[in-house]
Amino acid sequence: MRIASSDEGRLRLVEALLAEQQCMTAVERFARRDAKDDSSARQRLYSDLIPLEKPAPGEQYAFEVDLDRCTGCKACVTGCHGLNGLDEEETWRGVTLMLGGSPRLPVVQPVTASCHHCLEPSCMTGCPVMAYEKDPKTGIVFHLDDQCIGCQYCLFMCPYDVPQFLPKRGIVRKCDMCRTRLAVGEAPACVQSCPTSAIRIRSIKAETVRQENQAKGFLPGSAAPHHTQPTTRYRTSWSLPDNMRQAEHQVLRPGQPHLPLVLMLVMTQFSVGALAALWLINGLLTGAAAGIVPWATTMAVGIGLAGLAASIAHLGRPLVAFRVILGLKTSWLSREVVALGAFGGAGVLASLAAWAPDKVPTGGIAIMPVSLLLGVLGIYCSARVYQITPRVLFGRLTNLRFFATATILGLGLVPMALAVALVALGEVGQVARGVGAWACLILPLLVVFKLIQEASILNPTAGNPNRDPRARALVRGPLKGAWTLRVILGIMGSILPLVGLVLFPQEDSSPAVSVILAISCGAGLAALVMGELIERYLFFTACLPPRTARESA
């Protein structure tokens, strides 16, 4: 009887506890259990994952990642993807393995990362349509999807490869720290999803960020923090080796070719160089030979306009391309568009003036110089677009490469134009013949000089401004065929016009000789153009973003 009575009492107790549990919420049950624990033990177990108060002046929200707790489970990736309703191929947070150390003491560290909500976000300053904003109260950098035109320039500007272009949407998107959740006191998706509480949101002082970035640097293996001043803080109880690299470091994949940009850059630079060459030889052509100038000017302007039209194909939303001038104050891309657009308009006027010089007002004499100045400004802006990015190959030699392209292609047009005039008219004048011969002589020297500058990518010495081991490995590996073809076309394009050194000085050249000269110079120019197109293709595909901590999802 005693056993039966004991069992009956236990049953009544269980029924009472179950009844009480059904009347209490999960929060109440947690609070009752937590109240029985010692406060010091509770402090070790629980802490706030988000600040309880808004950032004070001079502060902003920032991610804090405890690397000792991160297991690389990618729950944060899944949570971010699901709670934010991202597209299938889209990830705003990624996890990668960082490898380093020595053979005797190797180090493997999983790292989770997303947008670092930098103090000086280069994605915002570089955007030509002002599609990025930084909240003045929280410091969160967020993207305005409806403002974006899909130019993808922020992908070049961000050192951490954060923005992602979505072709089917035609826009770029990125992490916004779940700012709508933070606004109502709810933790971001990645913070909620992490099973080890490795990710937190903290309020951090801007001055502290700058001091820590300068003193300690950023995460080993990632881009240097001086470009943007990232605010994410990675904490660990021990020091990571300086040689930490991503596991994907040895996987060499060429970058995006950006073919519309390849066409735009080469064709606009060809146009500027051609107009400059025609302007210089215009006064040297006399009589009927001067009739070649309007045709050549129209061709040069048409090439430039075609290049500008090709650039529109690079936009994800070309119908709203007119917004590109909004960022004129901060974005070199906006300045490039304005300068090259003005060059195209002035070039059309210069072409009309070449066809009807007697009908152009006195001020029309200045149209060609003005258009050339605008073209030079456009090439400079084009170079600055890439120079200010943190990519090594887009460094200080970009200006030299872009202006060298314009000079080589413009100079290559001179002997071809004179040869065509010689075929059509039979005579171009002794001075013009001399200019053609000199152009044929100078052209190989310029091409060889430019090829030497481009080949600096293969130079592994530390003093090389183009030193990038990954780019060097790409050119010697997957891109070797393109590089070889570029060199062959460059040399061929500079050698073929050398026929003009012999044939141009001959005043009694037969029509057959003139045709041979025209074909040789024309083939040389075509080879030069193809070589420069491949060079610009390598300019993009061999240039990889800096090492990041957000490559694998």
Check residue 552 and give its pLDDT: 46
Check residue 43 and give its pLDDT: 46
DSSP characters over 448-504? HHHHHHHGGGG---TT-TT--HHHHHHHHTTTHHHHHHHHHHHHHHHHGGGHHHHHT
The dihedral over CA atoms of 277, 278, 281, 282, expressed in degrees to the nearest 10, equals -160
Q: How far apart, in whole angstroms, are the C-alpha atoms of residue 313 and residue 309? A: 8
Would you say 249 and 394 are in contact if contact means Cβ atoms under 8 Å apart? no
SS3 of 70, please? Answer: coil
Q: Two tokens at 538?
A: 């390598």
Q: Tally Cβ neighbours within 10 Å of residue 35.
A: 9
Would you say 132 and 123 are in contact if contact means Cβ atoms under 8 Å apart? yes
Q: How far apart, in whole angstroms, are the C-alpha atoms of residue 363 and residue 372? A: 15
Where in 9-120 does DSSP place strands (E)? 59-66, 94-101, 106-113
Q: How far apart, in whole angstroms, are the C-alpha atoms of residue 454 and residue 472? A: 11
Q: Two tokens at 443?
A: 């052209």
Q: How far apart, in whole angstroms, are the C-alpha atoms of residue 279 and residue 97? A: 58
Would you say 211 and 224 are in contact if contact means Cβ atoms under 8 Å apart? no
Q: How far apart, in whole angstroms, are the C-alpha atoms of residue 371 and residue 472? A: 38
The enclosing H or E element of 143 equals strand 141-143
Q: What is the DSSP letter of 80?
A: H
Which domains are assigned to the chain? 59-250 (3.30.70.20), 259-541 (1.20.1630.10)
Q: How far apart, in whole angstroms, are the C-alpha atoms of residue 361 and residue 61? A: 61
Task: Look at residues 549, 553, 552 and name the one whose alpha carbon lies nearest to residue 223.
Answer: 549
**For residue 109, what are the β-bridge partners?**
98
Q: What is the DSSP letter of 142?
A: E
Q: How far apart, in whole angstroms, are the C-alpha atoms of residue 314 and residue 261? A: 7
Q: Tally Cβ neighbours within 10 Å of residue 304.
A: 26
Q: How far apart, in whole angstroms, are the C-alpha atoms of residue 93 and residue 373? A: 45
CA 199 to chain centre: 29
Check residue 3 and give its pLDDT: 45
Mean pLDDT by 10 residues, the chain (553 residues): 58 75 66 60 58 89 94 93 91 90 88 94 95 95 95 93 92 95 91 92 93 87 87 89 77 88 97 90 67 84 95 94 93 96 92 75 68 95 94 85 95 83 69 76 92 85 70 90 95 86 64 79 93 96 72 47
SS3 of 270, please? Answer: helix
Q: How far apart, in whole angstroms, are the C-alpha atoms of residue 59 and residue 207? A: 9
Q: Two tokens at 314?
A: 């690079």
Would you say 466 and 456 are in contact if contact means Cβ atoms under 8 Å apart? yes
Q: Tally Cβ neighbours within 10 Å of residue 386.
A: 24
Check residue 282 and give its pLDDT: 76
Would you say 391 and 543 are in contact if contact means Cβ atoms under 8 Å apart? yes
Check residue 392 and give its pLDDT: 80
Which residue shows structure tokens 């059309």?
Answer: 348
Q: How far apart, in whole angstroms, are the C-alpha atoms of residue 214 and residue 167? A: 37
- Distances, alpha carbon 116 to alpha carbons 61, 94, 113, 182, 232, in Å: 10, 12, 8, 16, 5
Q: How far apart, in whole angstroms, are the C-alpha atoms of residue 156 and residue 162? A: 10
Check residue 375 and give its pLDDT: 95
**Which residues neighbour 472 within 8 Å (Cβ) at sequence distance 6 or greater?**
457, 458, 460
Which residue shows structure tokens 């005579």?
Answer: 427
Q: How far apart, in whole angstroms, are the C-alpha atoms of residue 285 and residue 510? A: 20
Would you say 139 and 117 are in contact if contact means Cβ atoms under 8 Å apart? yes
Check residue 351 and give its pLDDT: 87
CA 34 to chain centre: 51
Check residue 100 and give its pLDDT: 87
Check residue 46 and give its pLDDT: 47
Q: Two tokens at 412?
A: 């290559």
Residue 103: what residue type?
P
Q: How far apart, in whole angstroms, are the C-alpha atoms of residue 191 and residue 200? A: 6
